[in-house]
Structures are given as C-alpha cells and as structure tokens.
Amino acid sequence: MQTMIEFQHVKKAYGEKTVLKDFSLTVEKGEFVTIVGSSGCGKTTALKLVNGLLAPDGGEILVYGESIRRKDQTQLRRNIGYAIQGSVLFPHMTVEQNISYVPNLLNKKDRKKTKEAVAKWMKIVGLDDDLRERFPSELSGGQQQRVGIARALAASPEILLMDEPFGAVDEITRGQLQTEIRRIHSQTGITVLFVTHDISEAMKLGTRVLVMDKGEIEQYASPEELLRHPATDFVRKLTAQQRHVCRLPDERLEECEYSGVNMEE
Amino acid sequence: MFQEMWNLFLDRNDFFVGLLWEHLGISLLAILIAVLIGGLAGIVISEVQGAARPTLGAVSFLYTIPSISMLGFLIPFSGVGNATAVIALTIYALLPMVRNTYAGMSGVDPAILEAAKGMGSTRLQILFKVRLPLAMPVIMSGIRSMVTMTIALAGIASFIGAGGLGVAIYRGITTNNTAMTMDGSLLIALLALVMDFILGFLEHRMTKRSREAKKMNHRMGAAAALVCLAAAGIGMFHSREGETLHIATKPMTEQYVLGEILELLIEQDTDLEVELTQGVGGGTSNIQPAMESGEFDLYPEYTGTGWNMVLKEDGLYTEELFGELQKAYQEDYHMEWAGMYGFNNTYGLVARREIVEQYGLETYSDLVAAAGDLTFGAEYDFFEREDGYDSLCETYGLEFKDTMDLDIGLKYQALNEGRIDVMVVFTTDGQLSSADAVVLEDDLQFFPSYLCGNVVRSQVLEAHPELSSVLEKLSGTISDSDMARMNDEVETKGREPEAVAEEFLRGLGLLE
C-alpha cells in the first residue's frame, strides 16, 4: 500500500484557540476516510490543511510522500479535488463551465479533451447531458451537489477532499448521492477524505473512519472495528446507536457483524 | 413657451446639436476615465486589506467639495476649458464608481471564493473568473447612476469656458433668453434619460446568460466602445491649434455681442481663425489667468476693472490713469489695451420706483436714511471686488438691512419681484430702459470709469499686426446708448447676439 496523505505532529491554532494539537494520521492510497466529530472539533481544519487553504503552525503534511510546505500551492490544489458544503457552484457559469473550471485552469488549449471530460463526469455522477447549458439556479439541490462532485473530479485528481458535501440536501437525495459517491470511489480507486458530522454517513461511506474530539483523534479504524472495539467513551457514545441497529445485547454484538451496519456489498 | 422653445430649437438646431455632441463627448470621456480609474481602485481596495477605508474616505471628501469651488480650484492647474471640466467630472464620478465596485466585490459569498481557491485558482484567476463577474451587477448599477449624475453635472462645465449644453443654459440666463435655458436643460435631461435607457438595456443583456446572447453582447459591446470613442473624439478635439485666435468673453450680453462683432470682423479682414469662448463664468477672475497662460489671446475688458481687479490698484480709476494702466499691462503681463469701443459701462445704483417715491430718493446720499429698511442686490463679484460693496457703503455711510448675491441676468427680475430694493446696474444694461426703476445720482463720485476696450496679448499683436488695424476700425464706434440698445435687442427682443452684431457692423459699413 502506498501512503497518499500523511500528517506528522501537526499543530494548528486560531489565535489563542488550539484546534489541532499533535495531530498525526496516515491515509493509504484508495482509502475512503470519513472524518466525523462534533462541530469545532477540527475536522474541517484537517481537510483544509491538505490542500494548503490553511497552513499548519507546526509539524509536516505530506501529500504523495512530499511535504507540501515548499510546494506550489496552486499546482497542489489543482491536483486535489475539492467539494464543499452547500451550493458553492459558480452562479454565473453553466453546468459545463462549472465542471470544466479546473480542466481549463490546467490546459486552456485542449478544448476537445475538456469537453470529453465534462461528458464523462456528467455521466458518472448521473447528470443528464441536456443540463449542460443550465445555470446552477436552474438545478435542484441534488443536481447541484452532483455538479459539485463532477467539478471536483473533472481534472481526474488522485485525491478528493469533501467537506459535508451532502449537508444541504434532503434525506432521499442524500441517500442517492451517498450511493453514487461510493460507486465512484470503487470505480476510480481515488483516495477520499470526507468530513461529516453524521456518524451514520461516516459509517456507511468510510473504509476507515476517523473520530475526532476537541482536536484530538479518538479512534481511526474501520467501521467494524469502531463498533467492535470503541477505543474511548466518546467513540462508544457516538456509535451507540449504530451498534444497536442489530438490536442484540452488547455481549452478542459480534454476531451482528453483517447485520446491515457494515453495508451489504 | 413650448412653442417658443421648439422654434428656437429648430432655428438653432446646429448650435444645439453641436453642444449636445460636445456635452456627450465631455461626459463620456469623464465617465470612461472614472470607470477605468474608479473600477481599478475599487478592485484594488477590495483585494488589499486596509486600503478601503482611507480610499473611500478620500473620494468621499472630494465628492463633498461644491462643484463651483472644485472648478475654481482646478483652473490654476488645468486652465479653462474642456480639460478642466473633464477632470472635475471625473473626480465627482469616482465616488459612486469606487464605492459600488468595492461593494460589489465585497458582496461576493466568501465560500465561493474559497471554493475557487481550493480548486487551484490563482489570485488573478479568482478575481477575473469569479469575483469580478459576480460583482458585475452591483458595479453596473453604480455606473448607471454615475452616468446620469455626470451628464447632469456637465451642465456647469460652461462656467469655466468648457462646451456642452451648459453653454446654452448659461447664455440663456445671461441674455434673458428663457427658451434657450429651457432648451439646454431639457436636452441635458433627455440625454441623461437616453443614456440611462441604453445602460438599462445593457444591464438586461448582461443578465442573459445563454451562449448566443453572450456572443451578441460581445458584438454590441465592441460597437458601443467604438461609438463612445468617436463621440469623445468629436467632443474634445475641435481644433485648438494652428493660426487660431482664442477670444473669450465674460457672461454679459454686451460681451456676447462684442464677441460676435470681433469674430465676424477678424475672420473677414484677416486669415486668422477665431475661436470664440463666450460667457466664461467668473469673468475676469477666470479669464485673466487663462490670458496669462496663453489659452486666450484677447477679451473685451473695462478699464476700471483692469485697474482694480487685475493690477490690484486701490485708488479710484479715472481715464487720466489710462497711460499708467497701459504701461502696467505691458510690463507686468505683456498684454495691451487696443480698440477702445467708446462706451463706458460703469456702475450705477437704481432703486425700485415705489421705493424712490416712498423715501424721496434722488442721490446715493439720500439712501443713507432709508438703507436700514432696504435689501441690496448685486452680482457676486461686486461683493468681492475692492471697489465694490464694502467700499461703497464706507464712502456713503450706508448700512443696508440685507444683501443678496444675484446673477447679472437675474437681478432685474429680482428687483421687479421686490426681492431686492436697491441694486447695482451697468449703465449699458438693456433692461434698464424697460425696468420699473430709477437711476440714482452718484453725488460723491464713487464709481470709477469703465471704458470698454480689448485686452490683447502683446505676443499675438506682434505676430499678427493686421489684428491691430481691425481693432482700430472698431475704436470709438459704440456709444453708451448704442450698447444699451443692442443689449436690449438681445435681452428683451430675444434676438441672437450674432444677428445684432452683424446688423451693427453693416450699419458701420464694415461688413463686405
């Protein structure tokens, strides 16, 4: 396994308030890491450190095995997909223009290649081709999120950062989008860092789940492991509901391993 | 009234259309510069932290300077004429431009900007691909209100000898031609409305986002830019070079007539082209500096005014001092007096007839007892000048109840309406004959002599000796009553100064 992202003793503070203290984490290639925790626990901060939107106060962050400290931040970001909460599509651009935003930053000349990429990604995220010329205001919430994902993926990055991308859509659409993103992950083998405050979403999507509280890692493990061996009280409490989905008593939890908590693939 | 305005417009449509183009040219140039500078400033202060407050403070400060004082302040730097007008208009247009650009730029959702940054846009890419396009609606509405304001404000540009429709307004006021004032004002309003409509249409087009609409927008934008440039070109660069004699006149009816007389005769008798800037606001105070800088070559002036306002001599001017006046002009300013017309446009005091009867007024000294009940009116430079109001009151021991600043063209109306009781007139005022007023006697000989002649730059006279003989032809040809009558022709009978001038020259047999 190849290491894609590595945090080495990272410290980050906003003025007096320390958000991350001695944060270390390794993400292997092809992992789908969901980061879950209460708001203000530092999960969004950790995400923004990866593409250099925030700079650490201490420690190192390695992407593709290299420290990003001395890297060209703009180039770095172009090779990392980024999708964030709510509708932050560019309202003055069409669906096509939104999706081809990063490809256009990368290769201005090759219009044909860009057009093909747009078509390919619209298909992958499940957008109808006749939506190309639409503006974001003319799309439903779910369609907007799909465009957001296509935009993040359009330049075929190897890493995708997502910050509560499904926070603003209804329950049914969210379920569909969750299924889509899992499918995209398994199709492309992309490494995903996915921030959410919803433990069920984290458990459903992640190949590994990172539980954070007050800037510290509570546990970093597979969803099964989280259920079986919660490392701390915080994790136990957080996963209590998930654990009880199978409605068996605690001492027989191991029998619950494939009871639906761990997805049915 | 409307009939009169319409007829005047039809009669003089060349004049009005010329002014309209010039107005448009001056305004568009100012707007263009303001959009570029103001837009750039607005963008820069929204990108550079901490620059917004001082910049907005500075442009707000400039914006609050009254336009008249702004123009007066600019004259020493950029002279009289279109350039100063464009500078002043640009300064006023900056505030709405900078403020709206800044507001538009700051109003863009920071989450969108972060998304753009997170996707690997450089600072410039964020600016041009995301921030600026999203700020555009706010910027456009700023431009729209700024354009209307600038076109309206350009009406005062004539105050400092610039062109545009303000010329018609100012000339209308000065020569008691209401129809002309109204035509000028109406055309300004119309121009502002049309521009606002065009911009509204543009705004509407810009919100259309389909590809075909965008392509169409690009074409229309290019066409519009060309039209703007052309208009600005036509407006600004009417010939100001070559063998051209630049003549200025003060905003007084008789000066308009004298200006036309000079233009007609000089263009007929010499090879010189005359460029006549009629009715420069502020009169001597603005024309003299422009003469010194060579922007103007010649203007009709009055000896007493030259003595007190230009040479800043304290004493009373009498014509015995003419030799000294001429010498001082030649030595201090390299200008000289030539072609003394013969009439003496001196000051006189008049009172409304009912006041005269009520108080039994005959002389200025009789006013002393009545002054406490009376309001005194005069144009603003009478209150300013050294031989003006204060000096008059001191000599006669007058203390008026109140004073009022009035434009030369409006004071007879004010007197008739009873807003003022006593006022200063000129002995050649056309309206004097028809006014319900009595001229009082200057029993202490307070007012100096104001013989009218031309002040010419010596350099110009040397270069064009033929000019001297033309001016000599006009010497001693106009009496006080001739001038008053010609003024009356224009002010009361509504004739054009040009027509009156031509008739006068024909009467003298000077026109071929």
Q: pLDDT by residue (tens digit) across B460-470?
A: 999 999 999 99
CA dist list (Å): B286 to A162, B12, B80, B133, B161: 68, 28, 7, 45, 9
Shortest Cα–Cα distance, A90 to chain B (Å): 7
Q: Rounded to whole angstroms, how far apart are CA atoms B425 and B346? A: 8
Residue the block writes with tokens 């008691």: B176
Residue A103 forms part of a structural domain: yes
CA quadruple B99, B101, B106, B109: dihedral positive or negative?
A: positive
CA dist list (Å): B58 to B35, B62, B84, B85, B138: 17, 6, 20, 20, 21
Residue B379, pLDDT above cutoff 80: yes
Residue B235, pLDDT above cutoff 70: no
Residue B177, pLDDT above cutoff 70: yes
Structure tokens at A205: 């999507």
| Reported confidence tier of residue B240, pLDDT bands at 50, 70, 90 | very low
**What 3-state class would DSSP assign to B352?**
strand
The mean pLDDT value for B261-288 works out to: 89
The mean pLDDT value for A146-154 works out to: 89
Residue of A nearest to B125 (CA): A105
Q: Rounded to whole angstroms, how far apart are CA atoms B283 and B160? A: 9
So what's the pLDDT on residue A245? 65
Residues 105-124 of B with CB under 8 A from A: 109, 111-112, 114-122
Residue A216 forms part of a structural domain: no
| Reported confidence tier of residue A75, pLDDT bands at 50, 70, 90 | confident
Is residue A99 within 8 Å of residue A150, measured between CB atoms? yes
**Which residue pairs, CB below 8 angstroms and at least 24 apart, start in B432-437?**
B432/B350, B432/B484, B433/B484, B433/B488, B434/B488, B434/B492, B435/B350, B436/B352, B436/B353, B437/B350, B437/B351, B437/B352, B437/B353, B437/B412
State percent of chain B over pLDDT 70.
Answer: 96
Tell me the chain A residues in contact with residue B134 when contact means C-beta distances shorter than 8 Å: 90-92
Shortest Cα–Cα distance, A22 to chain B (Å): 24
Across the interface, whether the CB atoms of B117 and A77 are under 8 A apart is answered: yes
Mean pLDDT score of chain B: 87
Q: What is the 8-class DSSP label of residue B440?
A: P
Across the interface, whether the CB atoms of A84 and B130 are under 8 A apart is answered: no
A74 touches chain B (CB under 8 A): yes
A219 touches chain B (CB under 8 A): no
Structure tokens at B238: 């009417």
Q: Rounded to whole angstroms, how far apart are CA atoms B342 and B476? A: 4
Question: Minimal CA–CA distance to B485: which of B427, B424, B425, B428?
Answer: B428
Across the interface, whether the CB atoms of B118 and A94 are under 8 A apart is answered: no
Across the interface, whether the CB atoms of B117 and A78 are under 8 A apart is answered: no
What is the number of structural domains in chain A?
1
User: pLDDT tens for residues B113-146?
Assistant: 988 998 888 888 899 989 999 999 899 989 999 9
Which structural domain, as residue segments, surrounds residue A150? 84-156
So what's the pLDDT on residue A265? 38
Element (H, E) at B367: helix B367-370
Query: What's the first-to-final CA gap in chain B, in angstroms?
Result: 37
Residue A222 forms part of a structural domain: no
Is residue A3 within 8 Å of residue A60, measured between CB atoms? no
Is residue B41 within 8 Å of residue B94, measured between CB atoms? yes
**What 3-state class would DSSP assign to B117?**
helix
Residue A123 forms part of a structural domain: yes
Residue A145 forms part of a structural domain: yes
The mean pLDDT value for A93-114 works out to: 84
Residue B385 is which amino acid?
R
The mean pLDDT value for B21-44 works out to: 92
Element (H, E) at B301: strand B298-302
Other CB atoms within 10 A of residue A230 CB:
20
The mean pLDDT value for A14-18 works out to: 85
The mean pLDDT value for A108-134 works out to: 85
| DSSP characters over B172-233 | HHHTT-HHHHHHHHHHHHHHHHHHHHHHHHHHHHHH--SHHHHHHHHHHHHHHHHHHHHHHH
Across the interface, of B119, B209, B211, the residue whose CB is closest to A77 is B119
Is residue B165 within 8 Å of residue B401, measured between CB atoms? no
Shortest Cα–Cα distance, B129 to chain A (Å): 9
Residue B241, pLDDT above cutoff 60: no
Residue B17 CA, chain-centre distance (Å), reads 18
CA dist list (Å): B268 to B165, B277, B336, B454: 28, 18, 23, 18
| Reported confidence tier of residue B301, pLDDT bands at 50, 70, 90 | very high
Is residue A217 within 8 Å of residue A226, measured between CB atoms? no
Residue A258 CA, chain-centre distance (Å), reads 25
So what's the pLDDT on residue A227? 86
Residue A87, pLDDT above cutoff 70: no
Residue A219 forms part of a structural domain: no
Residue A204 forms part of a structural domain: no
Across the interface, of A80, A86, A92, the residue whose CB is closest to B134 is A92
Bridge partner residues of A191 (DSSP): A159
Structure tokens at A257: 């391993």
Higher-confidence residue of A34 and B388: namely: A34
Is residue A136 within 8 Å of residue A120, measured between CB atoms? no
Structure tokens at B249: 């006149």
Structure tokens at B380: 């603003």
Is residue B259 within 8 Å of residue B278, measured between CB atoms? yes
Residue of B nearest to A83 (CA): B115
The mean pLDDT value for B199-205 works out to: 85
Across the interface, of A76, A84, A105, the residue whose CB is closest to B125 is A105
State percent of chain A over pLDDT 70.
Answer: 89
Across the interface, of A48, A88, A152, the residue whose CB is closest to B111 is A88
So what's the pLDDT on residue B317? 87
Which of the residues B119, B127, B139 would you substitute to probe the A interface, choosing the one with the greatest number of A C-beta atoms within 10 Å? B119
So what's the pLDDT on residue B234? 61
Residue A22 CA, chain-centre distance (Å), reads 22
| Reported confidence tier of residue A7, pLDDT bands at 50, 70, 90 | very high
User: pLDDT tens for residues B318-332?
Assistant: 888 999 999 999 999
Across the interface, whether the CB atoms of B120 and A102 are under 8 A apart is answered: yes
Residue of A nearest to B114 (CA): A53
| Reported confidence tier of residue B208, pLDDT bands at 50, 70, 90 | low
User: pLDDT tens for residues B107-121?
Assistant: 998 889 988 998 888
Residue A139 forms part of a structural domain: yes
Is residue B4 within 8 Å of residue B179, measured between CB atoms? yes
Q: Which residues contact A83 (CB under 8 A, 6 or more apart)?
A: A148, A149, A151, A152, A160, A161, A162, A163, A165
Q: Rounded to whole angstroms, how far apart are CA atoms A191 and A30? A: 4
Shortest Cα–Cα distance, B115 to chain A (Å): 7
Residue B299, pLDDT above cutoff 90: yes
Question: Minimal CA–CA distance to B447: which of B510, B376, B372, B387?
Answer: B387
Residue the block writes with tokens 């490494």: A191
A50 touches chain B (CB under 8 A): no
Across the interface, whether the CB atoms of A90 and B116 are under 8 A apart is answered: yes
Element (H, E) at B405: strand B402-405
The mean pLDDT value for B347-365 works out to: 91
| DSSP characters over chain A | --EEEEEEEEEEEETTEEEEEEEEEEEETT-EEEEEESTTSSHHHHHHHHTTSS--SEEEEEETTEESTTS-HHHHHHTEEEEESS--S-TTS-HHHHHTHHHHHH-SS-HHHHHHHHHHHHHHTT--GGGTT--GGGS-HHHHHHHHHHHHHTT--SEEEEESTTTTS-HHHHHHHHHHHHHHHHHH--EEEEEES-HHHHHHH-SEEEEEETTEEEEEE-HHHHHH--SSHHHHHHHHHHHGGG---GGGGGGGTTSSTT---
Across the interface, of B109, B122, B210, the residue whose CB is closest to A74 is B122
B62 touches chain A (CB under 8 A): no
**Which residue pairs, CB below 8 angstroms and at least 24 apart, start in B356-360?**
B356/B438, B356/B440
Across the interface, of A82, A86, A90, the residue whose CB is closest to B118 is A82
Q: Rounded to whole angstroms, how far apart are CA atoms B473 and B504? A: 13
Strand order in the sheet with A32-37: A80-84, A159-163, A191-196, A32-37, A208-213, A216-221
Residue the block writes with tokens 């003025």: A15
